[in-house]
Structure 1
């Protein structure tokens, strides 16, 4: 049986692929020759919330959308679409989740970490409750 974090990660990864976004579990290396825009699923944390009959949790997942200097609209559209994953409740094989829009957000920044390059970079923070 997978952990609640892994099942949620797999669910969001598949949702991104179903939206036809090139999606990776890591920032692609230059040798991988990946075209913009693309999505990476990155940081995730779980905070247990015990109650009388079971243990719930709050799970946070960070997603990044990367686009070139001409793709700000595309990056924004993708980020907005991915944010909507946190607007519903769903069941995976072993767990049930409730998205928490009130704790989710995204921002778009111009990233100049690659020499002589300006990238549009959306950082999406999704919040879920394990129920």
Structure 2
């Protein structure tokens, strides 16, 4: 399995194990997704090729969506996933470690759905591969 898929699956499993409703796509209207939920979004590989190995970084974007009443819960869910990702782990043949100094997060109010206010948490997690 590729390192980006290993990271995707790792974060997805962390979210599920935490009891969060988790998707690999933005839920469709007919899926009736309950708020709050986690979306494991894009994953980008930034390889660095050395003489003996391929190393580098994997950048994963994770979104937490909540209704207008759940800003605190969105924040807690984001923090929980971040804390769990801080643990260095071996995924397959790859050792990964979160770059805490490159962690970014923000929560915005989203009003793109008519007559609805949503809380949209966005995290960027950067992992070193070795």
TM-score normalised per structure 2: 0.95
1:53-72 mapped onto 2 (5 Å cutoff): 53-72=52-71
The alignment partner of 2:68 has SS state of coil
Show CA shifts across 1:28-69 (max 9, x none): 011001110000011111111122321101110000000000
Between Structure 1 and Structure 2, how many residues are aligned? 130
What runs of 5+ residues in structure 1 fail to find an aligned partner?
A: none
CA distance in 1, matches of 2:84, 2:125: 8
Deviations 1:88-125 (A, max 9, x none): 21012232101111011210000011111000010010
> C-alpha displacement at 1:73, in angstroms?
0.4
Could you tell which deviates more after superposition, 13-22 or 50-59? Answer: 50-59
SS for the counterpart of 1:41 is strand
What is the Cα deviation at residue 83 of structure 1?
1.7
Contact 1:45 1:60 in 2 (8 A): yes
- Report if the CA contact (8 A) 1:56-1:130 is conserved: yes
Contact 2:45 2:58 in 1 (8 A): yes
What is the RMSD computed on CA atoms of the aligned residues? 1.0
Matches within 5 A, 1:16-95: 16-95=15-94
2:33 match: secondary structure? coil
**Take 1:42 and 1:34, find their aligned partners in 2: how far apart are those partners?**
16
Q: CA deviation at 1:84?
A: 1.9
Residue pair 2:11, 2:85 contacting (<8 A) in 1 also: no
